Amino acid sequence: MEKLYEGKAKIVYATEDPKEVLIFYKDDATAFNGLKKDTIKGKGRYNLAISKIFFDHLAQNGIKTHMVDVIDELTMRTKKTEIIKVEVVVRNIAAGSLCKRLGLPEGLELKKPILEFYYKDDALGDPLVNEYHIETLGVATKEELSEIATQALKINQLLQEFLKKRDLLLVDYKLEFGRFEGEILLSDEISPDTCRFWDKNTRKKLDKDRFRQDLGQITEAYEEVLKRLSY
């Protein structure tokens, strides 16, 4: 298979169908724009399985995603979307960079979800941008950005309800979208790598913050999330 792209956590391969690709999930872990690196045993397998559960749930509730099917425990077949260079972050509870920027205490429940856009550019450190920046950069139209925001907030509602039934809080998360045959499709992954999950009762962190903050039990946290989602 021809390798089309290799990122921090995944490798994209071509298929015989020009409209589809294979995405291989790696065990590599990075943080702080690649300054911290390591390998987390089983991470790729857990992230793929968790992403599939979320994609299936969202598809059943009217959200179109890039997933076609799962080939094996590390490989997902997806539609070959043209990734829009805007990362979308939805925040429900104050954590991470939001606390640093606004001086909010970690764990503060926000009155309403905060939606943020980041310009997808590793060399620039994926800077926070607004609609005016995005229009100037030419990476998405106003119509596309409106569609992305609408989808992101609907996804937020669906995931929060889904996770609360499993005693998990959706603190915040990152989404990526892509263009495919005139539509905007949810792409990339939804996993402990791209979301902050806390236990609803203890607020124990069950995501990549355990790697970022040297909290240990990283594999166990990913495994716990998958276990709860499989109820």
What is the rounded distance in angstroms from the CA atom of residue 198 to the CA atom of residue 168?
Answer: 6
Domain that residue 118 falls in: 82-217
What is the rounded distance in angstroms from the CA atom of residue 167 to the CA atom of residue 145?
Answer: 32
In a domain, 208, yes or no: yes
pLDDT number for residue 132? 96
Q: Residue 85 has which token pair?
A: 């260079």
In a domain, 7, yes or no: yes
CATH code of residue 181:
3.30.470.20
pLDDT number for residue 231? 79
What are the pLDDT tens digits along the chain (231 aa)?
899 999 989 999 999 999 999 999 999 988 877 678 899 989 999 999 999 999 999 999 999 999 999 999 999 999 999 999 999 999 999 999 999 999 999 999 999 999 999 999 989 999 999 999 999 999 999 999 999 999 999 999 999 999 999 999 999 999 999 999 999 999 999 999 999 999 999 999 999 999 999 999 999 999 999 999 997
The number of folded domains in the chain is 2
What is the rounded distance in angstroms from the CA atom of residue 189 to the CA atom of residue 220?
Answer: 20
